[in-house]
Amino acid sequence: MQTDRSPPPDQAYESCRQLGVELSVADAKTLFNTEIKQFTVEAYKFGRTPNPCALCNAKVKLAVPFSMLTPGECLVTGHYAGNSAGILQRGRDPSKDQSYFLSLVPVEILSRCYFPLGESFKKDVRVEVLESGLCFVERESQDLCFQRTGAGVPGDVVDADGNIVGRHNGLDGYTPGQRKGFGAHNGRKYVIRLDILTNRLIIGEEQYLYSESCVLNNINWLMKPVEERFACMVQTRYRKKAVPADVSMNRDGTQAVVEFHDPQKAVAPGQVGVMFLSDSVIGGGIIDRYEGDTYA
């Protein structure tokens, strides 16, 4: 599938030729536009902070080639993650571990995946590829693989006391914890909430960013716990560390309340919340809302 940030087609064919493998191209543009691109744009409109990469892994990037497998075949990818007996685990390279982005992939797909780079460090892989003479893209993409288009609706910037202190250019350009893009306001201020009903961007001091709990929806269980309430580690963004929490799931397991042992900063609705036992992924869900707000 070709995206805005994909390598040129001729480079992909040359890499496969050098490796001695056949390249088959699957047309997933319509699926990607519907399930990922349109979904992401709509999520931003509703003041959420989606994670399109995690959704893409689950619905397109791994799902499409999985559907092409024949009995006895497995899906090999370059993700930095582990897969032990079908259990998704963190990759050995802590700076590139991608288990967070794979947490929404259904277990039936993961059970037939092989991640050969799970025990590798990316710096070593780069050296090995360069020494081999294979085609290699030096630039590393860590952003959306498609261009966001359209402007949001401008509205008021409001402080934690409800005072109008400025204007924003559209809520779709902000996320909780952000410190730039809304002007200077007498000291360091952060985005603490997006009020979609009034189209207000609420800013305040760092103290207002912390949440004691959050709710996970549409949970993809990879190892569903036997007990409805259990303790684990929870990661709420890719670059954040997993922290201790108590989790209480509903009867059918589609939703869970996460109570952090210590309040967490900038928990954003729309992001992925991933539950871990040691280095193994229990499951992942979408942060639908968070509690513990102390601002107006």
Q: Which residues are catalytic?
A: 56, 145
Burial bucket for residue 125 (CB in 10 Å: 0-12, 13-18, 19+): middle
At 284, is the secondary structure helix, strand, or coil? strand
Three-state DSSP class for 280? strand
- Tokens at 162, concatenated: 């409800």
**Sequence-distant (≥ 6) Cβ neighbours of residue 91 within 8 angstroms:** 79, 80, 81, 82, 97, 98, 99, 115, 117, 118, 119, 120
Cα(143)–Cα(77) distance, integer angstroms = 19
User: 190 and 172 in contact (C-beta within 8 Å)?
Assistant: no
C-alpha–C-alpha distance, residues 53 and 55, integer Å: 5
Angle at 271 between CA 106 and CA 244, to 5 degrees: 85
For every residue of 12-65, DSSP letters joined together read: HHHHHHHHT--------HHHHIIIIIHHHHHHHHTT----HHHHHIIIIITHHH
In Å, how far are 23, 63, 81, 214 from 18, measured between CA atoms?
A: 11, 26, 25, 48
Which two three-digit tokens encode residue 142?
């860590």
Q: Partners of 216 in the beta sheet?
A: 256, 287
